[in-house]
Structure 1
Amino acid sequence: MLNSLPELLAPAGSWDSFRAAVENGADAVYLGGKAFSARSYAANFDNHEVERAVEYAHLRGVRIYVTVNTLLDNGELMQAAEYTRFLNNIGVDGIIVQDLGLLHIIKNSLPDMEIHASTQMTIHNIEGAKALEEMGVNRIVLARELSLEEIKEIARETAVELEVFVHGALCFCYSGQCLMSSLIGGRSGNRGKCAQPCRLKFSLKASDGRIVMEDKHILSPKDLNMIKFLPELVNISGIKALKIEGRMKRPEYVAVVTRAYRRALDRIRDNPECFNIEDEEYRELIQIFSRGFTTGYYYGRPGRNMMSYESGKNRGLLIGKVQNVDKGGLSFIRLYGSLSRGDGIEVWSRKGNSYGTTIDYMEINGEKAEKGSRGQIAGIKMRGRVHQGDLVYKTSDIGLIARAQQSFAGEKPLRKIPVVMEAELMAGKPLSLKIKDLDGNEVTVFSKSYVERAVNKPLTESDIRSKLDRLGNTPYRLESLKIKMDNGVTLPFRELNETRRQGVDLLSKERIRRYTRKGIEYRDFQDRIFPLFISEGQQTTKKKTSLTVRVDSVRGVKIACESGADEIYFGGEGFFGKGFCIGEYREALEIAGRYDKKMYFALPRITDVAQMEEIKGRIKVLKDLKPYGFLASNIGILYELKEYDVNCIADFPLNVFNSLTAKVLNERFNVSRITLSPELRLSQIRDIVSGPTFMELEVIGHGFLPMMVTKHCIIQSIVLGGSPNECAGICKKGEEYVLLDRMKKEFPLWQDDNCHTHIMNCVELMTLEEVPQLVNTGIFSLRIEGRRREYGLAEVIRVYRKVLDMGDEGLDSPDVQKFIESMKTRGYTKGHLLRGVE
């Protein structure tokens, strides 16, 4: 028998989902408020509901974590901070955050509050975990792209608690790194408004025009399901929580999944050597919601086996096959399992179409029936065109739904706390009732009336037990009762009932009291926060805004130097088989030196556990070349660079959205410059520049932006159909691919030298007409993204150079106007500079 298990953490997007999680065995529940939550389209909880949930959960020994895990601009930061004070004062057990500025506030103003780093922070290496541990984070929700072996390495090297996902929807992109919903529709996943465009259909097109895969859900993963592999997760000592995804899911889903994982974990605890999952349990998980199941990246890269190409929505359980369709409109289905009237089904046509319905009529052998069984042929009325041979999936099981609803919708709770009672009835004294739970809480209460000698009918032990065991609607159940009493005594039944109620109420207050903490008053809170926004540095002064250019070829460096760049970022990922080459870095630095340009060496955006060892060596080699500094894109790289006396620029994937986050990066990691989030609008940029940010701030002004970075190799999975664990190097053979959406827009796929796919936006960012406004905000530098585009790069740099130097007068020049017109012909976007994001 195991002494302890990781916490089972379940989601709640509504009150019913919350009760479903608690009543079906969750150790902890995570939920979001009405604002600052990464699932803002869930019903979520207002302040009164959060407070009510905390009391309900704590009474039952369940912890509550609240998500405040969106990026926050300067205008929202104080409001979010005050919300965390409210959460602290009502006894919330932990707060899940993404924004480093808010993390800094909580750590320095709410000393008793647990801080959990959201998976949106993209922590995917040991150095990133160490950095957050040193910043005071109690728990890290790791990136879902990590393997079991990588998690073990992080657990060995850090003491911070680790939380991993075990069930539910998978994001295609590294969480916190996705701009697809933002750039396509203006709804940001980093701000809790993801519209899930990745679940739509796309086509894969090769550079020669071939359509390799047409109208499939190319970016839609199956759902994670680790229930059969729980022993391996439980045996990793650093894993303290197993997380079920699903704050957007209905309460029935939460009930079924939580119950299944609770039972599985309890079996591991009781008999780890004989662990098994029953077929019916697994079928229920498929039935309640499934796009097909996968173990994600826990055992390496699963390739196409991870993807749900045919559907981006619930597929349910395969229940039968269409035998024939009669002229009366009945479809006859040979059943592979039970099917009932009221169930939901979906028929998948061989032509790729699907038709769904709720069964309101069924017949078996020509007679009306309520239920059909395995092997029978059921006649069902269907909408849509159904053909012989079509497969039928049961998407909703009315019986399973009803059983799930009973667990949270009834008045009597399922989850009961065992208690032990000791009753003492002595003549001439009040009834003494002691109630104890198994957590060490104990209360003693006394009846108002005294126990008397009975004139007629004395109390029996059976009478006393029947009254004290009336715990029906309470969260308690009577484990044992010890009665000590004089012979021939009596006490009114109402006194027995009232004393029991009094004892139960007192025990409940005692159980809740264990979780209470001293509240922090508003003035005290403000006094703690105010110094955090003060910097001892001096504001950077600069006469004009610099022009930086990022390139990934030696020729690109020469073009940038000759065309007017002030500073150059070189390298990082190598795309399409072009890996790291020290000679190219040395040559690029020599060229920049001849033109008296500052050169920064870029490091890869995603650096997993294994790759970090190679990156550490790369940093040492590149440092000896003496560049002006380094460009870093994840917290782990920043942590590693801190060991060296180098200038460091924090790149845009670090999602800097407010002045305080910028200040934290400066003070914690010695960052001298920050490239701000491309999701910021002009007014927000101005606020950050004018805030307590005494460092260089940069904005991306032109180029193709990456919308996603994913560990999944789209090209190999589709073109070859195999597992990318054995890379075939298809991306190195010269052929390039794009994704086509339903509007036939093309999104280029760039494969880097560590087999991550970067999905680029279909149109180029151009802010040339807004450059004078950007300059007026006070930004230090404007960046042009020029990787993989030597052709035309010189013209881009020249026109931006002219407008930076001449302002509005430069905008009116013929060559600049010609460039703007050519961009209008090709199509471009201003990104979020003017519109912002939801």
Structure 2
Amino acid sequence: MPTPTPTLTRIHRPLLLAPAGNWECAKAAIENGADAIYFGLERFNARMRAENFTEGDLPELMAWLHQRGVKGYVTMNTLVFPQELPAAEQYLRSIILAGVDAAIVQDVGLCKLIRHLSPDFPIHASTQMTVTSAAGAEFAHELGCNLVVLARECSLKEIDKIQAQLSDREISIPLEVFVHGALCVAYSGQCLTSESLGGRSANRGECAQACRMPYDLIVDGEYYHLGDKKYLLSPQDLAGLNVLPEIIKSGVSCLKIEGRLKTPEYVASVTKVYRSALDRIVADLGISAEPDRDLYNLEMAFSRGLYTGWFEGINNQALVHARFGKKRGVYLGEVTRVYPDREAIAIDPIAPIKAGDGIVFDCGHPEDREEGGRVYEVFKNERQSEVMLSFGRGAVNFRQVYIGDKVWKTSDPELDKQVRQTYAGDVPKFQRSIDLEIHGEINQPLIAIARDEVGYVVQVESEILLVAAQNQPLTTDKLSSQLGRLGNTPFRLGSLTNHLVDDLMLPVSALNQIRRELVTKLTEARSQPKSWQLSPTNKLTDLLPEVDRAVLNPPQLIILVRKLDQIPAAIESGIATIYCELEDPRKYHEAVQLVRAAKSKSNPPQIFVAPPRITKPGENWILEQVRSSDADGYLIRNYDHLEFFKTDRCIGDFALNVANPLTADYFYQNYTFDRLTASYDLNIDQLTALIRSCPRDWFEVTIHQHMPMFHMEHCVFCTFLSEGTDYTNCGRPCDEHQVKLRDRVGTEHILQADAGCRNTVFNGVAQTGAEYIHRLVELGVYNFRLEFVNESPQTVSETIGYYQQLLGGQISGTELWKSLQLSSQLGVTRGSLGV
């Protein structure tokens, strides 16, 4: 007989993980059913704008969380720069000693440091590590991670494939997914937009949210009219509620809610909805008893529109509606009539509205000041379905409100009050189950054993001996009634198993004393910090690589091209190493042949080609196409590349986020690289510190480029130049049109697609670090990269010529920058290397 399909009740119940930007948010999460919370400290966390906690808060916070049966994870999910490693080590020691349940980490070197300090402290690989495949999960596992937070772009089908492939590899590592909250349009850990535009790196917790800004679409040099669609890079918010059963069936171990910058009311509302839905699904009762109410609560908590994200696959039309990039709330309908003299409007509402609610009028220009205010009165109009909304005197400028304007409810004070009541006061409101076992026989004490969901076990014996019952013996019901009176405690009675021998009796006062002692003992047991191992002798300095000051080599330029016609320009300029990144990997064969045709030269160049930055399950055919080019080597950008090209010559690209010597050393010790590209997040002082802390020949530095800002699953070509949903039905407008995104200051950023139909937005203004190049040469750097996107062959030749003059001492860095300024229509900035 075939093995029956397991029911949901047999599937492991995933933890529900809620965000906490401060104490009140932590309380809101706990009282609404979170199994764990994640929070940041003052440094090294990807939400530096949150209130956050301090090192000094940790002992009290962790004791409180554990008393309530809740885990606490610290986010150390940023890149760590060389000068910061000693401080990071101290942070880690404090975190481990405080009994924190895990650290959520992005930086490879930081993972290495944690495992050196403690063999058993849990490490969770952050979504900032951009894990999209089984190879990525295996990389994290080998690094010492105990759990992997998958990239939000993974669909349910892809999660199933990753689980199956991990099983085939005999690797057991739990997976975590985001289930609700804001979606970054770019892959987390791969967004350089804030760094490029303002020196505020998303990899350092300082994202400026440029994805939420309006952009104009420029197609083939002309403005492309999209009506009221301007927010071309702003996804709707993720809501996995409707696919929660499928998420649970995928076997993920944890469901994560986004929102460390959100309010306590948001944390409470969203946690409560998912707690209820999760419990009902596991009990096989369906998603929700009140789906409309749950949706209303989620939208009022925070919503730019709610959508299942990438869980159900790619649907570019649904992911980004492009009409606004900020919170809206619940959609009420459109304005049907305006009554300026009565300071009122009429609508046909599709959602409830009442006096006191706050609304905003949406005329299609969210970048401008919008009219809105609190509703003073709601009353029926003469039309059957219409209602009139009146406002306080002067609250709304009705000359700026028009028939057809969309109306959104942005505030519901009554709901806010109800939500705040869920976590107000000091008495626990959310209680976690404990199971009791009762043992005893005549003339012996009653023994009560309590077990909680976390695994703690305590035992209490009565001071009074059990006697034979003349009447009203201690039945299971009576024991449950008396011992289950756990109000005002963090506990509720789950099951009670009665092992009493014969009919026995004990006074009620004794039972009450047993109950109080059980609560006290269990609370004390749970309050003890986790005893992770922490080596007193292992130190950061043990891991630092030896610095070998070898003989200096003469500096050389490496050219990265993205168009075939740029290759001859690089060859004619005498460049010894060329990198090539093309949308279609089938064209790499032609690129290689172009370079090989130059072999007759006295110093023939070598060519490395670049696979796409992201690899999903089932996409190894792309890597096969890349390898079939028979290039001299390959640019390594993700964990699948590390695995697939492990026997080839490799250059570690910037996407590996090498920002400190521990990360660099890990890659050199475990993989074969000719060299690594330093992270684009480093300014000149941080880059200098990195170079000084490692052998001088480990790195190449990108000194001229159009910064790759957004790298995203969202396809702008498909969304706005077709009616298709993905590559299967979009008609491939990326093959026919040149597209740019014009920002608010008029810069036109270059858009390109890759073989996986993922888009990269390149900064329209090139950046140069020319003024620092001699300083870097003195440090021993001799590999300098120039990157091109859509420049003409002539521009490529001229730019290479300027840098050759710079390296030859014929011009200074400042002179080069000024020359490039004059020769470039878009301009050249000094870039993000500046301090």
The TM tier, using the shorter chain, reads 0.7 to 0.9
Deviation digits for residues 725-776 of structure 1, max 9, x if unmatched? 413121212x312111121221121223332221111211122233222222
Alignment of 1:361-510 (within 5 A): 361-364=376-379, 376-381=387-392, 382-384=395-397, 385-419=400-434, 434=448, 436-439=450-453, 441-445=456-460, 471-478=486-493, 501-510=516-525
User: Which deviates more, 122-131 or 227-236?
Assistant: 122-131
* 1:713 matched residue in structure 2: 715
Q: Secondary structure at the match of 2:75?
A: strand
Cα deviation 1:53-79 (Å, max 9, x = unaligned): 322222233222211010110011221
Aligned equivalents of 2:244 and 2:825: distance in 1?
Answer: 55
Output the CA distance in 1 between the equivalents of 2:120 and 2:65. Answer: 19
Task: Give the conservation status (yes or no) of the 8 Å contact 2:449–2:457.
Answer: yes
- How far residue 422 of structure 1 moved from its aligned partner, in angstroms, is 8.3
Deviations 1:81-137 (A, max 9, x none): 221222222222221111111011112221111211111111223322222222222
Q: Is structure 2 residue 299 aligned with structure 1 residue 286?
A: yes
**Mapping for residues 157-176 of structure 1, pairs under 5 Å:** 157-158=165-166, 159=171, 160-176=173-189
Indicate yes or no: 2:781 matched with 1:773.
no
Q: Which residue number in structure 1 is paired with residue 556 of structure 2? A: 546
Distance 1:821 1:471, change over 3 A: closer
For 1:404, the aligned partner's letter is V
Distance 1:346 1:124 in 2: 39
- Which residue identity is paired with 2:834? L
Query: What does residue 793 of structure 1 align with?
Result: 796
For the 8 Å contact 1:171–1:221, the answer to whether it is kept is yes
| 2:185 is aligned with 1:177 | no
Q: Is the 8 A contact 2:194 2:201 kept in 1?
A: yes
**1:421/1:564 Cα in 2 relative to 1: closer, same or farther (>3 Å)?**
closer
Matches within 5 A, 1:554-633: 554-569=564-579, 571-574=580-583, 579-591=586-598, 594-609=601-616, 612-618=619-625, 620-623=627-630, 627=632, 629-633=633-637
Q: 1:263 to 1:466 in 2, by over 3 A?
A: closer
Alignment partner of 2:58 out of 31, 47, 50 = 50
Q: Does 1:661 align with 2:663?
A: yes
- Does residue 319 in structure 1 map to residue 357 in structure 2? no
Answer yes or no: is the 8 Å Cα contact 2:354–2:375 preserved in 1.
no
Q: Does 1:672 align with 2:674?
A: yes
User: For 1:386-443, what per-residue CA distance to the aligned partner results, in whole angstroms no more than 9, with x for missing partners?
Assistant: 22332221112222212221122222222213446789999999x9773513446443
Offset, 1:472: 3.5
Report what 2:220 is aligned to.
Answer: 207
Task: Output the CA distance in 2 between the equivalents of 1:665 and 1:262.
Answer: 41
Give the CA deviation at 1:692: 3.4
The answer to whether the 8 A contact 1:40-1:192 is kept is yes
Aligned partners of 1:731 and 1:489: how far apart in 2? 80
Contact 1:682–1:774 (CA under 8 A) maintained in structure 2: no
Question: Per the alignment, do residues 432 and 309 of structure 1 end up closer, same or farther by CA in structure 2, a change over 3 Å counting?
Answer: same
* Secondary structure of residue in 2 paired with 1:408: coil
Corresponding residue SS for 1:144: coil
CA distance in 2, matches of 1:102, 1:351: 44
Q: Residues 428 and 755 from structure 1, CA distance in 2 versus in 1: closer, same or farther, beyond 3 angstroms?
A: closer
- Secondary structure of the residue aligned to 1:434 is strand
Contact kept, 8 Å, 2:304 with 2:325, in 1: the verdict is yes
Structure 1 residue 549: Cα displacement: 0.9
- Report what 1:251 is aligned to: 264
2:798 maps to a residue whose letter is E
Asked if residue 650 in structure 1 is aligned to residue 652 in structure 2, the reply is: yes
Deviates more, 1:495-504 or 1:706-715: 495-504
Note the C-alpha offset of 1:697.
0.8
Alignment CA distance shift 1:687-1:345 (3 Å)? same
- The match for 1:703 is 705
- Counterpart in 2 of 1:99? 107
* TM-score computed with the length of structure 2 as normaliser: 0.88
| RMSD between superposed Cα atoms in Å | 3.5
Secondary structure in 1 matching 2:91: helix
Q: Who is 1:228 aligned against?
A: 242
Deviations 1:666-709 (CA, angstroms, capped at 9, x unpaired): 11222231111122111211111111346421111112121111
Aligned to 1:71: 79
Question: Is 1:641 equivalent to 2:640 in the alignment?
Answer: no
| Cα contact 1:363–1:380 (8 A) shared by 2 | no
Corresponding residue SS for 1:36: coil
Does the C-alpha gap of structure 1 residues 308 and 503 become closer, same or farther in structure 2, counting only changes over 3 Å?
same
Contact 2:118 2:533 (C-alpha < 8 Å) held by counterparts: no
Structure 2 Cα separation of the partners of residues 490 and 8 of structure 1: 41
CA contact (8 A) 1:286 1:317 kept: yes
Q: In structure 2, what is the Cα distance between the partners aligned to 1:578 and 1:487?
A: 80
Label 1:541 to 1:340 Cα distance change in 2 as closer, same or farther (>3 A): farther
- More displaced, 93-102 or 53-62? 53-62
Deviation string, structure 1 residues 647-672 (Cα, Å, up to 9, x no partner): 31111111111111111111122223
Name the CA shift for 1:402/1:17 in 2 (closer, same or farther; >3 Å).
same
CA distance in 2, matches of 1:498, 1:743: 71
Could you say if the C-alpha distance between residues 441 and 794 of structure 1 is closer, same or farther in structure 2, counting changes exceeding 3 Å? closer
Q: Map Cα deviations across residues 266-318 of structure 1 (whole Å, 9 max, x no partner).
A: 22211178887622222222222111122222233211211131111112112
Query: Residue in 1 aligned with 2:273?
Result: 260
CA pair 817-66 structure 1, distance change in 2 beyond 3 A: closer
> Cα deviations across residues 764-792 of structure 1 (Å, max 9, x unaligned)?
11222332222223213111112432231
Match of 1:832 in 2: 832
Confirm whether residue 340 of structure 1 aligns to residue 354 of structure 2.
yes
1:266 counterpart SS class? helix
Contact kept? 2:232, 2:322, Cα under 8 Å: yes
> Residue 181 of structure 1 contacts residue 196 of structure 1 at CA under 8 Å; is this kept in 2?
yes
Quote how far apart the aligned CAs of 1:446 are. 6.7
Q: Mark the runs of 5 or more structure 1 residues left unpaired by the alignment.
A: 367-372, 454-459
Give the total of aligned pairs.
803
Q: 1:732 aligns with which of 731, 735, 738?
A: 735
Aligned-partner residue type, residue 163 of structure 1: E
Q: Is the 8 A contact 1:42 1:248 kept in 2?
A: yes
CA contact (8 A) 1:124 1:142 kept: yes
Say whether the 8 Å CA contact 1:666–1:672 is kept in structure 2. no
Check 1:336–1:584 CA distance in 2 against 1; reply closer, same or farther (3 A cut).
closer
1:395 & 1:518 partners in 2: Cα distance? 46
Q: Which residue of 1 aligns with 2:41?
A: 33
Letter in 2 for 1:377: M
- Tell me whether 326-335 or 147-156 shows the greater mean CA deviation: 326-335
Change (3 A) 1:87 1:592: farther
Letter paired with 2:19: P
- Residue of 130, 136, 141 corresponding to 1:122: 130
Structure 1 residue identity aligned to 2:832:
H
Q: Which residue of 2 aligns with 1:457?
A: none
3-state SS of paired residue (1:2): helix
Contact 1:115–1:138, Cα closer than 8 Å, also in 2? yes
Q: Name which of structure 1's ranges 555-564 and 287-296 shifts more when overlaid on structure 2.
A: 555-564
How far apart are 1:511 and its partner, in Å? 3.1
